[in-house]
Structure 1
Amino acid sequence: MLTFPRRFKMLLAFALSLVFVLPPVPATGRAHAETGLRPTAIGSFEAPEGWKLSLGPEFPGAQGEFVLDTEAALSGEQSGKLTGDFSGGGTYVELLRLLPKYDAADLSFSVQTADVTRVGLRLTDSTGQVHQQRIALQSTTDWQSFTITKFNGGAQYAHWGGANDGVWHPPAKQISFVLERTAIGGGKKIGTARFDDVTMSIPTPELELQQTKLGNVFIGDEPASLRVLTAGTSVSAVVFDYWGIPAAEQTAEADGDGYAELSFSGLESGYYTANLTALDADGGAIAEATTSLAVLPPFDSGAAADSPFGMATHFGQTWGLELMPLIKEAGVGSIRDESNWSAVEKPKGVYTFPSKVEAYMGEAQANDIKPFIIFAYGNSYYDNGSTPHSDDGRQGFANYSREVVRHFDQVEWAEVYNEFNIQFGDQGNGPADSRPDYYYKLLKKTYETVKAEKPGLTVVGGATSGIPTGWLEELFRLGGLNYMDAVSVHPYRYPGNPETLAKDLADLEELIKRYNNGQPKPIWITELGWPTQQDGRGVSESVQAEYIVRSHVVSLASGVEKVYWYDFMNDGTSTTNGEHNFGIVRNAGDDLGKNVPKPAYVSYATMTRQLAGKSFVKAESICEDVYGYLFDGEGDPVRVLWATEPKEVRVKTNSPIVITDMMGRTDTYSPLNGYVYLSLSGSPVYVQGNVSQISEGGKFILTGKTSAPGTPVRLELTVDNTEPPRGRIQAELQVEGSVYPIDVMPHGTKKIPFEVEGRDTPQTRTVTAYVVRDGQKVARLTADVAVADPVQAKVKHVRNGDQDALRVSVSNALDDAITLTDIQWQIGGQSDTFAANVQIPGGSADSADLPVPELTAGQTYPVSLTLNFEGYSQIAYEGKLAVVAEEDLKPFSQHTIEVDGSLDDLTGVPSVDLAAEGEVKMNGYGGAEDLSGQIWGTWDSENLYLSVKVHDDVFSQTSRGESIWQGDGIQFGVSPGLPGESGEWYEYGLALTPEGPEVYRWIAAPGMTIGTVDNATLAVTRDEDAKETVYELALPWEELEPALAEDGVIGFSILVNDNDGQGRKGWIEWGAGIGTGKNSSLFKAIKLVGPE
């Protein structure tokens, strides 16, 4: 925010050592001869360049726009025009962009304005600290130019965030120009400033990634070219495909300006990473960088126009239009975006569409992409800005919606609101409270109004977070289906698998039929995605690439008409923020490069090319864990196949078939005695051709053994010719450039061992091999092989009596014994060496407990350990240790309960009074009679137990599975050690569903599945007279690993949800980190104590 604490207030003056006012001379490309610096343009405004508008969200009310303006420019054809409109309040608007990691010596820019007296300059350093100063402007309409040489100084200097120490920590991460309401002269409320020739003087970087095409996405025969700027004399690059196989390498000399360009021709379709190294004159490495790129076949965008493939975007907020061609090349037929009511109607009754909305609608049309518009949110001129709830508010919302479709004739589909059933339907202080009856009235009025304007418009209603059965049923009971042409839902289930969509969508269709005279109504999924953040809620980038295909195929097979992936671009660069990781291309500020692809971009583009213009025909029953779906269009059938567990299948055919993998690589396979043989995994493949049957089994099985980093990966091909057809198999195995002969007689078997190149770091190595006969491929085989250290260590916080310790567990996969001799440790500012002397035989595991030194409670300390061995190399560990005061450790007693739905005698067992000790998170809470309860946590060597008695005036739970959180029930989280120490944790749900008690797991440690938990015992009883619900749970510790009973401590949080039949009202929580946001560091610290 542009405010100045009292300690920063000072006389407004120019410090000439900090700011130079210069004649308006455009920047040139020549380096400063004396300093070795080069002017680098970051704001020529001849293109968007990543500049974005912010409306000062911490002070709501400001409006504004940013456009590339051709009316006035200092150099070139355009400038950046920033306008701030404070008629409705607010404090400032801001023009900002992310920067490459520039270690800049100075910043130069030019400003032209007729009504602004000063501009604010904000520079964000490498720590995230914002440094702000104000630049006074002369009273002239001429261009004024400035050079800033001190970034942590200047007039009215202030700093906040990051290191927050007033010290400039290079490099710069972001720049912004700020237009304040108080800087507009003459009492005006609207002001404009133009900016041009924004440059930074920087040293030539050791290695800086640049691009010849935005996002490094190359189409057809285009060479994949990479451009870099370097202080070295040359740059070398090695390009690897999706599976880590080297695909190309090249070295290029840098020119006199330090630029080098590498060009790779002939790359097959797919996702690639490029590792680049800058070299000095002697060939020594001076810097390294990595980027990603994609190679795609051409795509007929006309085939996508009416396809089911849509993408959620944010052009109506801050995204740059340069992304639109990347969206088009991915095969996207339509985008779901917004033109929010608050930005369109101001003042009341006057409708003006922001230039950014006009621009993205035009750009979408130019790229043959259809817009799907959300009618969204509130307006300060109605219902005090709350969610529309009055007749006037609803009519105002409907009138705004009518103006959107009237103004943009290209709009064929529109959605009424967004996720009304959660917080978006409870904005402000109005009574809407996310209730379905209020949504129904808004939907009805909007439908009637926009249909009168444009009868052919498809109006989509619902737009719910998840598939809240009870909320939707109430909406349908009220008559909501009469006022929507399609029903939309957002059935997120990350990090769980997408196959569970089928049942949920089938249940939704049955619910629709129940309230629609037995007839279906089109279902649209208008948000669905799997983020790749690095915590318990995220999936890996490879899993995202698989799930984006599998979720679309399952949805289409379930009758869904359109699917909109959320969303196209990562919205930031944090590795632990979900919103920053949903995208299929990276953020403009990503270290790998501006908007470069993730693997999911390529798998999505492959899917659209395979399925556009085709319709779902049927699901094929093959075998357990294998999914097969047939699509067809104009007699060109294609099957999509995958398996949730590795499987071998045989494809019966009498003619060659074409198999395309997830990355778009296509091969032709000919039958061997009537069959083509195929390995299936979680990575979908497409099969085209005349196929009569697909069944489990095969003559060829590829397996691998875990290998240590830096060693070859060992595999084995088993050829089994004992089952019919049994003709002699004379062929060859081709794998990564090597060939091995195959000759197996009928009724015979043969094992062929071989090796492929290993990897230097732990990972999963996917090996693909082909069986070739007479030059024709007859089998495509894959195996995932672990590359892992044979000796591994894990560390967690435990408690032995009253003594905290770090338990260091070591597993030894070697043949020989090793000895953990000692542990060198540093915890906070203390360090020492602990004598462990633990011998660990080959093929076994053992542990040592490192006592924690005395530390101040209430803090989290960094931990560094070095494990020294006899018989093996050192292992280093970095982590965190939380120290909690004894009085802040909440006790769970050792006490076994009988799970029968009737509370055991828990006299003397510590409990939690939910109403007294919990925190209420709901509007309209009616006190203890509305929702209250008591919670007991206990344990024994086998189970963690929960006993909960809830008083709830109205019981309502109509959901099942991943949606049980939307009805009455319980959510709780468990983490190993103490809160904030571990990135591994669990979130469970308990509910009395229409089918009975259910335990569901949303978040789990690696290796544990998401979904309904059968290995748990739950009893739930409801006493309607007493308005009490009792939950009793026995959860085996194996469902909580690495947390164990003998650890003595866990992190724990619990909440009780409340739904009175109108949707989820809210909850009461003890602990946090579940309901409002997922953060295990907010859990309660629990000690597991002996029996009372």
Structure 2
Amino acid sequence: MKRRTAWPIVLLLLLVGSLLVAQPAAAADTTPPSAPSWVSVKDVTNTSIRVYWGGATDASGIQTYKVYRDGVHVQDVAGNVTHAWTDTGLTPGTVYYYEVRAVDPSGNVGPANDELAATLGTPAETPPPDPNGPIRGYMTHIPHLTGAAIDDVADLAADSGANTIRDEAWWGRIEATEGVFDWTLPDSVVRAAAERGLRVLLMADTAPTWASGATEGDPGWFSTPPIDPADYGNFAGELAERYGTGGAFWAANPDLTFTPLAGIEIWNEQNGEAFWGGNTVDPAHYTAMLQSAYTAIKAADPSITVVVGGLASGAGSAYNDADCDGTADGGYLTGHGLNPVDYLEEMYAAGAQGYFDAVGWHPYVFDFDGEKTMPQLLDYDPCSTWSQLAETPVSARSLMVANGDSAKKVWITEAGIPTCVLFAVYPCVYQSDQALLLHSEFAKWKTYTWGGGFIVYDMHDDCTSPLNVQCNFGVATTSNTPKLAYDFLRVDWLGE
């Protein structure tokens, strides 16, 4: 038998080996990260200071951030955690200088930001809320809380520089049986606020099944609107009578100092199917509800501000262009709802003029893909609800002016962005970016002469799930530990 030679196998192995040896080594990464996008410092106590910074960029990611005090490296902070660090054990009255540098996985150290100076001193106490100042505040969700948890979140709001909280007045719970009112939940909201000198923007939403015809437990039953707008108007009038000037709540609680409502908001995000019982939205029916509610509220207390329920971001839609592809289509995106500018236009066509004091608006921005800085999210974009406030050819403001409402204001009754938690699967940002966006939004808002109330969603995180985007909009954690945005807005609002 002829023997098989092993030479072909040997030659193949030698060839593969020579190819492997001949491959050039991968080029070493020698490109350093950018400088942090911004850096800020704020006094915490007379012996400590907290340093914040925006993220740096690098093709390989950021491994750590190096914090320097007076030119000396004092701390490393992991690149995938909060962009903040508290420096302690400092001397009161001393000027300290801080800078931050980013380090990538290859050890390349990026340039420092511009050096910042901070002088320590004894921090001033937060002044009491000014009920006569511009409406500034947070959504608090007090009806979801009990006992000491109510006091904790109300204290957090009172110390935030805000003068207002926004919270639910669930018609579906308050008048579950027609003509029978249980005020326990809204009473807890108004009491917690009044004890701290805070005003309340009551959001009158949801409908009882006797009014909506929905079946409790069915999808969307709680947000299904009433069949007869007059039923909603009757409830809104009862709400005004109880919490307005000389109302039954104040008579029953003589220990409290009367604090006028910031207003009553008529429903919430009614241009979205999710808040219209999962059904096709109906601006004409909503307008009939608004007319009925406005008439009843003003009859009970003419001083109460009536706010159109906050109109929601249109899922990236433009006016008359639901999918923002440049084709006129009426602005309705099935499964989502109607663009807010289109919705407001249809409200006016249905007779809304004269039946509200302010328009509510929810200018969320969700296209944060890392390509834009937080302030750049507010740049002109016809598909942005921020731009649709006043910058697009047809906008909320252009409609208000055209319909004789130029003197009325727009209120932001929700603004916010979710922060990331470990393993989050939803779009989210670092706490530092949340702070920068809200700070930028408020700074822009103050430039508008027609800009009214400014309410942030949310006071604190409602849960910690990495699966639910609704959990982590808070400017504080579930344990009421402030995030960076809380500190930023506190400075903004106290400085007004």
TM-score (norm 1): 0.29
Task: From 295, 313, 329, give the equivalent of 1:448.
Answer: 295
Q: Supply the AA of the counterpart residue of 2:284.
A: D
Could you tell me which of 527, 534, 540 is aligned with 2:414?
A: 527
Work out which of the residue numbers 198, 204, 213 in structure 2 matches 1:375. 204
**Which residue is 2:10 aligned to?**
none
**Is the counterpart of residue 418 in structure 1 residue 256 in structure 2?**
no
Tell me, yes or no, if the aligned pair for 2:46 and 2:92 is still in contact at 8 Å. no
Corresponding residue of 2:113: none
Instruction: Pick one of 474, 477, 483 that aligns with 2:355.
Output: 483
Conservation of the 8 A alpha-carbon contact between 2:150 and 2:192: no
Other structure's SS at 1:483 match? coil
Shift in CA distance, 525/360, structure 1 to aligned 2, threshold 3 Å: same
What amino acid does structure 1 have at the position aligned with 2:267? Y
DSSP 3-state at the match of 1:450: helix
Superposed displacement of residue 350, structure 1: 1.3
Match of 2:435 among 538, 545, 550: 545
Contact 1:405 1:411 in 2 (8 A): no
CA shift for structure 1 position 482: 1.7
- Asked which structure has the greater RCO (Cα within 8 Å, sep 6+), the reply is 2
- What is the aligned partner in structure 2 of residue 317 from structure 1? 144
| Counterparts of residues 769-848 of structure 1 (less than 5 Å) | none
Alignment-derived partner of residue 179 in structure 2: 349
Q: Does 1:334 align with 2:334?
A: no
Instruction: Indicate the SS of the match to 1:586.
Output: coil
The alpha-carbon deviation at position 435 of structure 1 amounts to 1.1
1:583-641 CA-partner distances (Å, limit 9, x unpaired): 111112xxxxxx2121111111111122x2xxxxxxxxxxxxxxxxxxxxxxxxxxxxx
Q: CA deviation at 1:582?
A: 0.9
Which protein is richer in helix relative to its size? 2
After TM superposition, the structure 1 = structure 2 runs for residues 87-166 of structure 1, keeping only pairs within 5 Å, are none
Map 1:873-884 → 2, pairs under 5 A: none
Summarize the Cα distance change of 1:543–1:267 in structure 2 as closer, same or farther, 3 Å threshold.
farther
- Superimposed CA distance per residue, residues 667-687 of structure 1 (whole angstroms, 9 cap, x where no aligned partner): xxxxxxxxxxxxxxxxxxxxx
What secondary structure does 1:463 align onto?
Answer: strand
- Extract unaligned runs of 5+ from structure 2: 1-41, 54-65, 75-87, 96-121, 215-220, 245-259, 314-338, 369-376
Answer whether contact 1:308 1:333 (CA < 8 A) is retained. Answer: yes
The one-character-per-residue Cα deviations of 1:256-310 (angstroms, maximum 9, x if unpaired) are: xxxxxxx9676899xxxxxxxxxxxxxxxxxxxxxxxxx9643323446422422
Alpha-carbon distance, 1:537 to partner: 2.1
Aligned residues: 332
Tell me: CA distance 1:377–1:267, structure 2 relative to 1, closer, same or farther (3 Å): farther
Which amino acid in the other structure matches residue 556 of structure 1? K
Instruction: Give the whole-Å Cα distance in 1 for the aligned partners of 2:273 and 2:386.
Output: 27
SS in 1 for 2:288: helix
Name the CA distance, whole Å, in 2 between partners of 1:407 and 1:459. Answer: 16
Q: How far apart are 1:317 and its partner, in Å? A: 2.2
Q: In the alignment, is residue 579 of structure 1 matched against residue 470 of structure 2?
A: yes
TM-superposition CA deviations, 1:530-553 (whole Å, max 9, x none): 111355622221111111110011
Distance in 1 of aligned mates of 2:275 and 2:284: 11
The one of 591, 596, 606 aligned to 2:491: 606
Matched, 1:306 2:133: yes
Conservation of the 8 A alpha-carbon contact between 2:167 and 2:189: no
Inter-partner Cα distance in structure 2 for 1:344 and 1:264: 52
Secondary structure of 2:353 counterpart = helix
Q: Which amino acid aligns with 2:429?
A: V
Seen in structure 2, the aligned counterparts of structure 1 residues 539 and 337 have a Cα distance that, compared at 3 Å, is same
Alpha-carbon deviation of 1:416? 0.4
Distance 1:363 1:264, change over 3 A: farther
CA contact (8 A) 1:418 1:424 kept: no
Classify the secondary structure of the residue corresponding to 1:311: strand
Asked whether the equivalents of residues 462 and 472 of structure 1 are also in contact (C-alpha less than 8 Å), the reply is: no
Task: Write the distance in 2 (CA, Å) between the matches of 1:448 and 1:411.
Answer: 17
Q: Please identify which structure carries the higher strand content.
A: 1
Paired residues for 1:844-993 under 5 Å: none
- TM superposition shift of 1:390: 2.6
Q: Deviations over 1:1041-1083 (max 9, x none)?
A: xxxxxxxxxxxxxxxxxxxxxxxxxxxxxxxxxxxxxxxxxxx
Paired residue type of 2:435: A
Match of 1:396 in 2: 231
C-alpha change, 1:266 and 1:420, in structure 2 (3 Å) is farther
Cα shift readout 1:355-409 (whole Å, capped 9, x = no counterpart)? x432331121121211000011110222324523433xx2222222222222223
- For residues 264 and 43 of structure 2, what CA distance do their matches in structure 1 show? 32
Q: Which amino acid aligns with 1:532?
A: T
Contact 2:426 2:466 in 1 (8 A): no
Q: Aligned AA for 1:526?
A: T
Alpha-carbon distance in structure 2 between the residues aligned to 1:240 and 1:371: 32
The equivalences for 1:483-882 within 5 A come to 483-496=355-368, 497-500=377-380, 503-506=387-390, 507-516=395-404, 519-533=406-420, 534=424, 537-558=427-448, 559-588=450-479, 595-610=480-495, 612=496
Provide the rounded CA distance (Å) in 1 between the counterparts of 2:285 and 2:275: 9
**Secondary structure, in 3 states, of the residue corresponding to 1:479?**
coil
The CA distance in 2 between the partners of 1:240 and 1:220, in whole Å, is 6
Q: CA deviation at 1:521?
A: 2.1
Alpha-carbon distance, 1:342 to partner: 1.8
The one-letter amino acid paired with 2:283 is P
Deviations along 1:321-358, whole A, 9 cap, x unmatched? 2121221211011111012112211432011211x432
Check conservation: 1:373, 1:414, Cα contact below 8 A: yes
What letter corresponds to residue 605 of structure 1 in structure 2?
Answer: R
State the secondary structure of the residue aligned to 1:600. helix
1:495/1:539 contact within 8 Å kept: no
Q: Secondary structure at the match of 1:339?
A: strand
| TM alignment of 1:454-473, pairs within 5 A | 454-466=301-313, 468-473=340-345
Return the offset for 1:516: 2.3
2:51 corresponds to: 241
Alpha-carbon separation, structure 2, partners of 1:554 and 1:315: 29
Secondary structure of the residue that 1:563 maps to in structure 2?
strand
Q: Which has the larger radius of gyration?
A: 1
State the AA in 1 paired with 2:490: A
- Structure 1 pair 304/404, CA: closer, same or farther in 2 (3 Å)? closer
- Residue 564 of structure 1 and its aligned partner are, at CA, apart by 0.7
Q: Distance in 2 between matches of 1:553 and 1:541?
A: 18
1:495, 1:530 within 8 Å by CA — same for their partners in 2? no
Output one character per residue of 1:87-110: Cα deviation in whole Å (capped at 9) or x when no partner: xxxxxxxxxxxxxxxxxxxxxxxx
1:574: how far off? 2.5
State the alpha-carbon separation in 1 of the partners of residues 396 and 432 from structure 2: 30
* CA offset digits 1:782-835 (Å, max 9, x no partner): xxxxxxxxxxxxxxxxxxxxxxxxxxxxxxxxxxxxxxxxxxxxxxxxxxxxxx
Q: Structure 1: give runs of 5+ residues left out of the alignment.
A: 1-217, 225-238, 250-262, 270-294, 589-594, 613-1092
Q: Distance in 1 between matches of 2:92 and 2:232?
A: 51
Distance 1:458 1:310, change over 3 A: same
246 and 587 in structure 1: CA distance in 2 versus 1, 3 angstrom threshold: farther
- After superposition, the Cα gap between the structure-2 partners of 1:305 and 1:488, relative to the gap in structure 1 and judged at 3 Å, is same
- Contact residue 460 and residue 475 of structure 2 kept, 8 A: yes
Q: Work out the CA distance in 2 between the residues paired with 1:420 and 1:374.
A: 12
Q: Once superposed, what is the RMSD of the aligned Cα atoms?
A: 3.3
Instruction: Give the 3 Å change call, closer, same or farther, for CA 266–582 of structure 1 in structure 2.
Output: farther
Contact 1:462 1:488 in 2 (8 A): yes
Query: Aligned with 1:529: secondary structure?
Result: coil
Cα pair 1:570 1:584 within 8 Å, conserved: yes
